[in-house]
Chains A and B, each alone.
Chain A
Amino acid sequence: AQSVTQLDSQVPVFEEAPVELRCNYSSSVSVYLFWYVQYPNQGLQLLLKYLSGSTLVKGINGFEAEFNKSQTSFHLRKPSVHISDTAEYFCAVTQNTGNQFYFGTGTSLTVIP
């Protein structure tokens, strides 16, 4: 089974500063990678996903993530954060050999004005 690790449980960052939220997974065998965002008092919604092709994927709200097979990582980045980016971010992995979605424990991003 896969495991997903989000090492940073909380990330405070000043407005307009860059941010990176880290995600590592256990196996790179035919994986599909996702970042979900959960804004306060809202449901989870997809931020971006990597299925194949270019390792750099762009998502909504200026976020991007890079798939690194050798390091089994899929870190999320944004060059300049906004107050509205304050939310919980979840990394998730699924494989083409099954239907199970594996989620990380989440990273709470707090943007400080």
Chain B
Amino acid sequence: GAGVSQSPSNKVTEKGKDVELRCDPISGHTALYWYRQRLGQGLEFLIYFQGNSAPDKSGLPSDRFSAERTGESVSTLTIQRTQQEDSAVYLCASRTGQATNEKLFFGSGTQLSVL
């Protein structure tokens, strides 16, 4: 596609439920990032995928959070047993991965609200 696509754009869930967020990166982009943006705060790194290498999971806040990516395509971020503090905008970004000085292309995010 023309840009990074995220779905759903909005998700309201009850505390304790599992949610799955989806990211479609730009075609050909091997590098994919997930960030969390809480209201009024900056971007918090969650996880990074680069091609078929082992992902960098150092930013995942707890074992309730996990993410997968098959090859260089779609990625899903799963949050199990959601808590109210998980409420945030979850942003996905991608880049070609050919150079470390490339810019990131961001999706519009998924607004997650945990009631």
Which A residues have a C-beta under 8 Å from some C-beta of B? Answer: 6, 32, 34, 36, 42-46, 49, 51, 90, 92, 94-106
Contacts and interface: CB of A to CB of B under 8 A. Distances in A.
Contacts of B91: 43-44
Q: Nearest 3 A-B pairs (CB), nearest first? A: A105-B42, A103-B43, A44-B106
Contacts of B35: 103
Contacts of B97: 99
Interface of B: 4, 31, 33, 35, 41-43, 45, 48, 50, 56, 91, 93, 97, 100-101, 103-104, 106-109
Given A32-B100, A34-B103, A43-B106, A104 B42 contact: yes
Contacts of A105: 41-42
A103 B42 contact: yes
Contacts of A92: 104
A49 B103 contact: yes
Max count, chain B CB within 10 A of own CB: residue among A46, A98, A99: A99
Nearest to B107: A43
Contacts of B107: 43
Given A101-B45, A103-B35, A105-B42, A46 B103 contact: yes
B85 to A, nearest CB: 18
Nearest to B44: A103
A104 B35 CA distance: 13
Given A32-B101, A49-B103, A90-B43, A99 B48 contact: yes
